[in-house]
Amino acid sequence: MSVSMLSTFVKPMHPEGRKFVAIFAGITFILFLIWEPLGWIGVGLTVWCYYFFRDPPRVTPTREGLMVSPADGVVSLLEPAVPPAELGLGDKPMTRVSVFMSVFNCHVNRLPCAGRISKVAYRPGKFLNASLDKASSDNERNGLAVTLPDGRQYGVVQIAGLVARRILCWSKEGQSLMTGERFGLIRFGSRLDIYLPEGVSPLVCIGQNMVAGETVIADLESTEQARSGGIR
């Protein structure tokens, strides 16, 4: 299968974005009637809105045991943390990998590792900057507890950000998903927290760029220690 030049620039758009692009386009039309330079600003914002809701296909590693990033963005936090109580994952700290998504990242969320969704829990909250540590506990969030085929569990939590005002999750309790399969979306800047199973070390570093459904964040079968990294 070949990759066309056009496909490298024009990406499919998630259906959730259609109404927003239509609104931006309508406002752009009005701006052109008011003053042409304002209209061209509207064109730029409409293109950005389309780009925000892009949903490109991803090539997910298929080897058993690999966990991939659930979101595009940058690893902002990497530390032990107690998962949200509503997920039922216990009160012991688990290794948490936080991926911060800016308004320029793709915001479609993908499951880190194949398993059965044993819990879906939404909790209202604040809209602090998603890059802050306290956003995990204070912000509006939606969490999934996922049971792996071997019985171990992990958690993935969608967290609203400073400008995010809507978390979408279309997956249900009891549903089984494959690694990299889409399960939700957050609108306009946010964060994803991944709580790794006990004894699993992260294979990413703070500041590393992540690609949802592609970048490996951990290997359930590996005994490799957590990695360190630095800016070059």
Catalytic positions are 190
Residue 54, strand partner residues: 13
The amino acid at 209: N
Backbone angles phi and psi of 101, in degrees to 5: -110, 125
Residue 120, strand partner residues: 144
User: Nearest Cα to 16, choosing from 172, 212, 187, 157?
Assistant: 187
The amino acid at 130: A
Q: Strand, helix or coil at 189?
A: coil
Q: Residue 195, Cβ neighbours under 10 Å: how many?
A: 26
